[in-house]
Amino acid sequence: MGGPEIDRLVGLLAKLPGLGPRSARRAALKLLQQPDTRMLPLAQALVEAAKAVKHCHICGNLDAQDPCTICADPNRDRSLICVVEGVGDLWAIERAGAHRGLYHVLGGVLSPLGGIGPEDLNLGPLLTRLADGTVTEVILALGATVDGAATVHWLSERLAGAGVAVSRVAHGVPMGGALEVLDDGTLSTALRARRPA
């Protein structure tokens, strides 16, 4: 094709989720044909996001400010923490407007096959957040996978002595389903119709 610069661009784009080599070539071509209106603004946005965006030290969300916009928002219900596997799940629940409380990003779920154990999850900071008695309920909003279910079970045991109610989302979530792929209505229903874990 057109030299190492283009090969490198296509190679990097092809590593993005949802883009294979074919879509990467199409995206690269689109960018190269509109350098001023598409490519340079994208490059600039990437650099700015890479510099500014970090994990919130309280909840693990990604934001340009720390504490993140959600943790810093005085209108959020501070008695309620929704525990999610990843930032993508947090974004999905926010998009659905399904939760008015705070979040905690676990950073994964227990996975014996994937080599993810309790020490790999962001649990300690959650226990710290529960210590001062402000939080009265923790909602476990993990995917309906085998690993997700095992993690809900493990977490509800770990949280049993923390003096908070622990609930889990109702799974109108299809078995094997990740939370972030649910449509807004299903997500809202799953959170509303939660039950004790």
Shortest approach of Zn ion to residue 71 CB, angstroms?
3
Q: Shortest gap between Cβ of 95 and Zn ion (angstroms)?
A: 17
User: What count of Cα atoms within 13 Å lies in the side-chain half-sphere of residue 85?
Assistant: 22
Tokens of 165: 């109610």
For residue 126, give every residue at least 6 positions away whose Cβ sits within 8 Å of its Cβ, in sequence order, or none: 81, 83, 104, 106, 138
* Residue 132 vs 183, nearer CB to Zn ion: 132
71 vs 138, which CB is nearer to Zn ion?
71
Query: Please, which residue, 61 or 167, has the CB nearer to Zn ion?
Result: 61
Whole-angstrom distance, CA of residue 100 vs CA of residue 71: 11
Could you list the residues that contact Zn ion (CB under 5 A)?
56, 58-59, 61, 68, 71
Q: Under 8 Å CB-to-CB from 171, ≥6 apart: which residues? A: 144, 177, 190
State in angstroms the smallest separation of the CB of 103 from Zn ion.
Answer: 7
Q: Which is nearer to Zn ion, 13 or 56 (CB)?
A: 56
Instruction: Give me the least distance between CB of 69 and Zn ion, in Å please.
Output: 8
Smaller CB separation from Zn ion, 68 or 159: 68
User: Length of the chain, please?
Assistant: 197
Strands 195-196, 165-168: pairing kind: antiparallel
d(CA 115, CA 87): 20
Q: Smallest gap, in angstroms, from Cβ of residue 125 to Zn ion?
A: 10
